Amino acid sequence: MAKSTEAWGSRVGLILAMAGNAVGLGNFLRFPVQAVQNGGGTFIIPYLVSFLLMGIPLLWVEWAMGRFGGRFGDHSTPFILDNMTKRRFWKYFGVFGIFTNMGVMAYYTYIESWTLTYTLKSLKGDFLGVNLDQLDTYFNNYVDLGSGINFPVWALLAFLITLTINIYILSRGLSAGIEKVAKIAMPLLIGFGAFLAIMSWTTGSTGRCDDCSTFIGLNFLWEPDFSSLANPKIWLAAAGQIFFTLSVGMGTIHCYSSYLSQRDDIALNAMSAGWMNGFVEIVLGSAVVIPIAVGYLGLDWVVDNAGFMMAFKTMPFLFDQWGSIMAVIAGVAWFGLLFFAGITSSLAMGTPWMGFVQDEFGWTKNKSAILLGIAILIMGLPTILFFEKGVFDEYDYWTGTVSLVIFALAEVILFAWVFGMDKGWKEITDGADMRVPRIYRPIIKYVTPLFIGIIFLTSLFKPLNGELSDWSTAFNSFTSGQGWPWANDSIINQIFHINTGVQWMADGALTNMFYIDMSRFFLLACFFGLVAMVKIASNKRKKAA
Amino acid sequence: MTTSALIMIILTQGTVLAATIYFFRKVLKTPPKPEPDSYKDNDNAPRD
């Protein structure tokens, strides 16, 4: 096993890199949409409760596990987990901490490349005077929608450029690469976000329709509906949002903190990075997309159309309403902000692989980064070429959703129950620059695993619609022998296609399900490829011992 | 905006902003650990 010479330059740099890891496109696009769909202002209550009971504990657990692994010279989750127990199989759970990142990086870099293209196009003024239909057409042409198999030349080129930028930065290492980027990107991101938030708050009523006012948008987002607190669906949505926004269950936090020594703080660092992410999401993220859209398109339009694609298909039109100069500035700020949010996250996703191959195979930083680039290119191409077939969404579902929950559940059980809370608590509090509330000891042991366990089980067996009443209906249906009414997005139904049946051909042509299933097999092959690499590394260690 | 929405926005955003500033300020104000620590930039500082 090779000895790493990597280190962080400064504490602030580490926190900014860690916050950059957490702050992503979802802070500006997923959070407000989730809030709108789940009780408006009330959503923040389960969101903050989930942050306190699941988010903060997981942050501390992951920071502590990473620093613990770093003591043994390990900088990726397979061997970080392996150090915590005598049972050898745990290191294979750690494979999720590399696989998830590579899977997500494959499609995330593609979205990141859209933001880069849109930043440049905004700067050139290409979106001045465009309407919503033109923006829709432009995006569809850009990703080559409508042609069955997509071959978007410019989008592919932008993807290659974005991937090359990522790989170059990763090859520079932690302090000279990732940290330097975070120190520039995070302040700019916050500055751009603050500018857009101020523009949103000061726009007010636009007179374009009866309810066209950014204040109505803010009201829509923050008006509490306390009756919705009794709905478990809202709690699950809030817990899910906490998961994705903090980038927990991925393996990146372990990797970043594994370069810390035992005497250095992790408790305060984790809180600082976690709350910084919360600030970007709750204060800035909630102020931009929904309020500005309501300000110019009205509430009804937003209720019908709120979603991720608003970033590309709607925002340039809205900025255009501010006049040509402000449209250019706001466009650059918006897409620049998304690019910075994206790249600070995708760089973090590259580090577990970098740490793993440098530690276990002694590869240089350049070689590790180039091979990562090739792997991401191969993994990313299906999401681009078969975008329309649902492959992109399939990657997001398995690597960006399911894998996270499985790994987080495994790691918190390992930390609290196998490694043990006595040792675990010591790991969290060693070198701490803040008093860690003792209440978190039982929370980490009982509440957090229960919380994640419920999320996992409800995702696994989710019945049609997923409301509380649907669960009792589903149980009644099951006990009366009529079977379980699976929701389409339940994990079991996704695996076995229960609701639709397996259908790879229709009318003599391959169906979307064929492409989706092939992408699953491909992801599975990638996962087992990484398992094989961990096995080889493990054998090398045994021989060297 | 309705009063309840205004209360929610002020309370929530105020809390999040205050917590962010409090923890980041604490990071900045806490004296660095004596060398050798994990960070490269202060490696010229006196060692333990």
Domain boundaries, chain B: 1-29
DSSP character at residue A433: S
Cα–Cα distances in angstroms (integers) from residue A64 to residues A120, A310, B20, in the given order:
41, 38, 21
pLDDT tens readout for residues A393-438: 999 999 999 999 999 999 999 999 999 999 999 999 999 999 999 9
Which chain B residue shows the shortest CA-CA distance from A278? Answer: B16
Cα separation, A481 vs A123, in Å, equals: 62
- Concatenating the DSSP letter of every residue in B1-48 gives --HHHHHHHHHHHHHHHHHHHHHHHHHHHSPPPPBS-SBSTTTTSPB-
Q: Which CATH class is domain A11-461+502-544?
A: mainly alpha
Contact A264 B33 (CB under 8 A): yes
- B17: nearest CA in chain A? A279
Share of chain A above pLDDT 90, in %: 86
Mean pLDDT along residues B7-15? 95
Q: Does A52 contact chain B (CB < 8 Å)?
A: no
* Residue A14 in contact with partner chain B when CB distance is under 8 A: yes
Centre a 10 Å sphere on the Cβ of residue A146 and count the other Cβ atoms it contains: 9
Chain A residues touching B6 at Cβ < 8 A:
222
> Across the interface, which of B19, B30, B41 has its CB nearest the CB of A10?
B41
In this predicted structure, what is the pLDDT of residue B34? 84
H/E stretch holding A509: strand A509-510
pLDDT above 90: residue A315: yes
Residue B35 with chain A: CB contacts under 8 Å: none
CB within 8 Å: A264 and B16: no
Indicate left, alpha or beta for A390 from its phi (over 0: left) and psi (-120 to 50: alpha).
left
User: What is the average pLDDT value for chain B, to the nearest integer?
Assistant: 89
Residue B47 has pLDDT above 60, yes or no: no
Looking at residue B46, its pLDDT comes to 62
Q: How far apart are CA A297 and CA A212, in angstroms?
A: 6
Sorted by where each begins, the domain ranges of chain A are: 11-461+502-544
**H, E, C per residue of A383-413:** HHHCHHHCHHHHHHHHHHHHHHHHHHHHHHH
Tens digit of pLDDT for each residue in A184-220? 999 999 999 999 999 999 999 999 999 999 999 999 9
What pLDDT does A89 receive?
93
Q: Is the pTM of this model over 0.90?
A: yes
**How many whole angstroms separate alpha carbon A110 and alpha carbon A52?**
33
A 338-377 residues inside an 8 A Cβ radius of B = none
Tens of pLDDT, residue by residue over A443-463, are: 999 999 999 999 999 999 999
Task: Tell me which of A281 and A244 has the higher pLDDT.
Answer: A281
The confidence score (pLDDT) of residue B45 equals 66
